[in-house]
Chains A and B, each alone.
Chain A
Amino acid sequence: MSNKVAYVRTEMAPDMPPPVTQTGVVGWMRKNLFSDIPNTLMTLVALAFLVWTVPTLFNFLIGNAVFIAEDGTPCRAPGAGACWAYVADRFDFYIYGFYPDSEYWRPNVVFIVAALLITHLLWPDLPYKGLSAIAFFIGLPILAIILLNGGSFGLPQVTTEKWGGLMVTLIIASVGIVVSLPLGVVLALGRRSQMPFVKYVSIAFIELWRAVPLITVLFMASVMLPLFLPEGTSIDKILRALVGVALFQTAYMAEVVRGGLQALPKGQYEASHALGLNYFKSMYLIILPQALKHVIPGIVNSFIALFKDTSLVSIVGLFDLLGTVQATTSAVEWKAPHQATTGYLFAAAIFWVFCFGMSRYSMYMERRLDTGHKE
């Protein structure tokens, strides 16, 4: 092109491949690991850190770990790593608590049915969602009460004092999740209602529960509540914890959902009203699908927090997963330097698997539901 002002392109420039240094492994490394001096330094520091930690961790977790043992003797040997044999020995206790071995099939059936139904509900393209929703929200709780508690249909009763381990963790977390989301949505809508009564009842509920620590809620539920009940009536300990956790979580969920409602442009409300949709239809069809989609990260955040907070029920004498792990750390026959560490590592791994699963699923749903096509 010359320096003249007037210019007319005679042919369009063709598309060309990018330079080699921009593509492939070399391009990726140049771009991400060694793009400039600070980046290169960070890469080297990270490498040094990995070289320092990975072998130590590997030796502790696998290399020097004890996988098979009758008792704690091999774990007490000098230089022994994680005592996995101890976890294997107490595995049933971690999963079922004091539930009698002969009845393990009962929680197993409930777990399997729940897992199948959840999979069906969460897998987007499968048909008959309505049926499995009914089965999950109505059938499963009934099945769980009949099977887990027993006392009918010829099943020996297993009182809730004997429940424990991962079973209790999962029961409390799933009831908390399943109850808190719909109730939270109702409260969030209530808080934005134009009817003063509904609005102030919602605000009072949310602010009351949010301002109290969960430990206090659980403590109140187990110690204070019986004082207000007529003598002789007793509410099951696990049921009290369930109600406490669910209501506590509802208050949080309501605020997360309200955030999503407020983020929606006013035009969405106006357009749905202008089309003649009444309040409930416009909420159900237009507002909530969008609002909930916006707050998936917040909702799942609450679910994950709830899942981990279930370990607080140990304060009222329930044995959740962490509680059972903790209870066995004093087992004398497995006495070893890393006994407790191994147990807690196991508990951490279980918690991590469930929480990471929820996190990944939420990211998958976010991508799937993203129809906004924002630039």
Chain B
Amino acid sequence: MSEVKEEDISVDRTKMTVSETDVAIEITDMNKWFGDFHVLKDINLKVMKGERIVIAGPSGSGKSTLIRCINRLEEHQQGQIIVDGIELTSDLKRIDEVRREVGMVFQHFNLFPHLTIMENCTLAPMWVRGIPKAEAEETAMHYLERVKIPEQAHKYPGQLSGGQQQRVAIARSLCMNPNIMLFDEPTSALDPEMIKEVLEVMVNLAETGMTMLCVTHEMGFARQVANRVIFMDQGQIIEQNDPEQFFDNPQHERTKLFLSQILH
């Protein structure tokens, strides 16, 4: 398990403020099944605006499924999920509303290979928000500069390295101007050298006050950036705490075992 050392990336935590009153996501008594398999059990989670939450856990623990429920890539069968004040039901209009406000970054980037980097970034703003092309391109350039690859704008995804593609994927999400960002193992498919460049972009994003939910195995990132770490196993939240307590003083046996296996 690769881990970014504390001194590798500079983090300015002063700009990361958590709202006391504004709720970004509220999940109440949520359950989900895949066929007969009870994949998420009794999930309760309240995320305030500006929180950076890292979700950790062994594979198959349901952590990806949990964040995929938040933008309805997966449907939950019981309980309530309210995102940005909108309750997720089978109402397609509300689903689209939520998806406009929630950005998502995938393990395998999922850039659109038939479009240039610029087109990848401007497509959703133009077709979903109805923003004129020139304005969308300006916004796209702004975010491509922020992820430090403006010079790749007119290339195709296939011509970029994995780390560059993932940074484009982040920029593409940001172009929709989301209030919440979901990261589903964003560095798991990357070479060690590229992990750092992606994490830097994510730290940078956290410093802007973005509400972030990250499923990741990067414990260095969790320790430095997160304000809360959630540990999941067998579809349930086993333990959650602030990073210092979580790493230095884990309570549940399963958490201790997990941490002993990934931290050396």
**Residues of A participating in the B interface, judged by any CB pair closer than 8 Å:** 265, 267-268, 270-278, 281, 285-286, 289-290, 293, 369, 371-374
For residue A280, give the distance in angstroms from its CB to the closest CB of chain B: 10
Chain B's interface size range is: 20 to 34
Q: Cβ of A276 and Cβ of B96 under 8 Å apart?
A: yes
Pull 22 A–B residue pairs with CB atoms less than 8 Å apart, ordered by A: A265-B108, A267-B108, A270-B73, A271-B104, A271-B106, A271-B112, A272-B112, A273-B71, A273-B99, A274-B71, A274-B73, A274-B102, A275-B173, A276-B124, A278-B96, A281-B127, A281-B128, A286-B123, A371-B156, A372-B113, A372-B158, A374-B158
Chain A residues, CB < 8 A from B108: 265, 267
Verify if B32 is at the interface (C-beta below 8 Å from A). no
Contact with A along B106-135 (1 / 0, CB 8 A): 101011111000000001100110000000
For residue A5, give the distance in angstroms from its CB to the closest CB of chain B: 27
With A372-B158, A373-B159, A374-B158 in contact, do A274 and B104 touch (Cβ < 8 Å)? yes
Which residues 168-188 of B have a CB within 8 angstroms of A?
172-173, 176
Extra contacts besides A270-B110, A276-B176 (7): CB < 8 Å: A267-B106, A273-B71, A274-B102, A274-B104, A285-B127, A286-B123, A369-B114
For residue A295, give the distance in angstroms from its CB to the closest CB of chain B: 14
Determine which residue in A268, A276, A278, A286 has the highest number of CB atoms from chain B within 10 A of its CB, and name it: A276
For residue B263, give the distance in angstroms from its CB to the closest CB of chain A: 30
Chain B residues, CB < 8 A from A267: 106, 108, 110
Q: Cβ of B124 and Cβ of A275 under 8 Å apart?
A: yes
Verify if B92 is at the interface (C-beta below 8 Å from A). yes
Which residues 94-108 of B have a CB within 8 angstroms of A?
96, 99-100, 102-104, 106, 108
Listed from nearest, the 7 A-B pairs whose CB atoms lie closest are: A373-B158, A271-B110, A267-B110, A275-B124, A274-B104, A276-B99, A276-B100
Interchain CB contact (< 8 A) of A273 among B73, B112, B173: B73
Determine which residue in A270, A273, A274, A285 has the highest number of CB atoms from chain B within 10 A of its CB, and name it: A274
Interchain CB contact (< 8 A) of B123 among A275, A278, A373: A275
Q: Decide if the interface of chain A is mainly helix, strand, loop or mixed.
A: helix
Chain A residues, CB < 8 A from B104: 271, 274
Q: Cβ of A290 and Cβ of B176 under 8 Å apart?
A: no
Q: Cβ of A371 and Cβ of B124 under 8 Å apart?
A: no
Contact with A along B143-168 (1 / 0, CB 8 A): 00000000000001011000000000
Q: Cβ of A276 and Cβ of B159 under 8 Å apart?
A: no
Q: Cβ of B158 and Cβ of A371 under 8 Å apart?
A: yes
Chain B residues, CB < 8 A from A265: 108, 110
- State in angstroms the CA–CA spacing of A285 and B119 once bound together: 11
Residue of B nearest to A281 (CB): B127
- State in angstroms the CA–CA spacing of A285 and B127 once bound together: 9
For residue B183, give the distance in angstroms from its CB to the closest CB of chain A: 12
Interchain CB contact (< 8 A) of B176 among A275, A286, A371, A372: A275
Chain B residues, CB < 8 A from A293: 114
Q: Cβ of B96 and Cβ of A275 under 8 Å apart?
A: no
Residue of B nearest to A374 (CB): B158
Determine which residue in B96, B102, B111, B127 has the highest number of CB atoms from chain A within 10 A of its CB, and name it: B127
Chain A residues, CB < 8 A from B127: 277, 281, 285
With A271-B106, A275-B176, A276-B124 in contact, do A371 and B71 touch (Cβ < 8 Å)? no
Q: Cβ of B114 and Cβ of A371 under 8 Å apart?
A: yes
For residue A267, give the distance in angstroms from its CB to the closest CB of chain B: 4
Residue of A nearest to B125 (CB): A275
Chain A residues, CB < 8 A from B100: 276
Which residues 49-105 of B have a CB within 8 angstroms of A?
71, 73, 92, 96, 99-100, 102-104
